[in-house]
Structure 1
Amino acid sequence: MSAIVSHRLHLPGTSPVHRVPAEVKIVCAVVAVFAVVATPREMFWPFAVYAAGVIVAWRSARIGLRWIAPRLLIELPFVVLAILLPFAAGEPRTTVLGLSLSTTGLYAAWGIIAKGTIGVAISLTVAATTSIRELPGGLSRLHVPAMIVVIVVLMLRYVDVIADEAARMRLARISRGDDPRTIRQIGATARGVGNLFLRSYERGERVHLAMLSRGFTGVITEYGAEPATPRQWVLGIVPAVAAICVCACALVVR
């Protein structure tokens, strides 16, 4: 099961970024994302610095653009929304390529695209360099409640199982002469979604019973991972400190 998730989200490797303990990467990512979000959207140069830092992390972790680019498409719905904002927002307005666009909408669209893209890129970097086996220990050492750790880990393990189940159901419909792309099949599509929900619920019940029968007590095993040393904390948190400094500079010179 974990091999499926590793294939889609985790990129195995032995780079310095891969060797950083999971709890350090999680804290670093959260702090960096907060710094990106707090950066004024009217400032452009901080986002270029953030993007350069992400690219450096990709190079250090040996993450290729061909691997990361398709996974960045998860933010596409938000990009579409951002593109519509300059047309929908109000005054003041400016003319760009002959189009009358809202200045406030342009800044809002830029903020959504820039902050969203960098945030997703940071999250994917952590996912690419942190295996599922490392997550329980990292979250537990950060004193995250055990129930939340269980929910997160099981969600990551089985989201791909559900996606594969949906793909098999779609293939079965097509093999029986159905075309799920037509609007006439909206009823069949809705029933398929309901059927997928029921199958997922039943699978969850079976998995839970199987876990209980094997002695599950509500805590996921850490697989013997060692806590991060002070040196690893100091070195691993450097990107987050740099992001805070960039954000602070942008707020000062704003």
Structure 2
Amino acid sequence: MRANNAGRRAGDAEHPGSVALTHHRDDSVVELVVSGRWDRRTAIDVYDVLRKSLAEHPSAIIIDLHEMNDCDASSAATWIAASQAATMLQPPAQVALCAPPTRQIVTRLRQLGCTRFLSLFGTVDQARAAVASALPLTDRLQLRWLPAHPDTLATVRDVVALACRVWTMPALALDARDVALDLVGDSMAHAGSAMLFTICRRQSSLYLALRDREQTLPPRHPVDARLLVVTTRSFVWGAAPTHDGKVVWAVVR
């Protein structure tokens, strides 16, 4: 997902602000890259993307500010609000901000005492490592690069049943199974590539994600009954591009 800002003044055309959202990880961690000049339009775009990201109930949001120009640190309020909103999720999500330590925005956030609730990192790799170490392995199961074959449906069905039994979530078992099978079936029909299936426990809900190597995102509204089960039986769902395809996710509550 990318929000490019049009209609800027002629003098702003050289370095317009832009926002890019992607899922580089396979466990509900999203990454946000903000580049160019920070101004009112960029702030609106960031707010919109963050709102959609938080609707996914991610485990963490990594925000890369290395290419952002914010000399007076006016974006500080946005990152503080994002972190506070993330802590309101159940369970709370981690917000990791990445910027060189010499940047004014980092200095300003430290002065405000934001390190108590907002994680600051010098590089994206440091943030990724910290986020990965914080994710409990017992709350996540993953099937890596399954073939687009009918047997995959049975494999995913069995894993969902196992997860619901181990995590003592029998009330979600039926919906989780059907949503997972809809995700897999849709990928088999429209991508036909190898797929990576992830299921994560989120307190009283389950996060399911299906990643494949087809970059075309599914329509947000059912077309010819596509993803009808996902649409009607998940609490929230969405899709986002990855560096080599896409991920379609759903939350069952």
Q: TM-score, normalised by structure 2?
A: 0.29
More strand by share: 2
Higher relative contact order (CA 8 A, sep 6+): 1
Bigger Cα Rg: 1
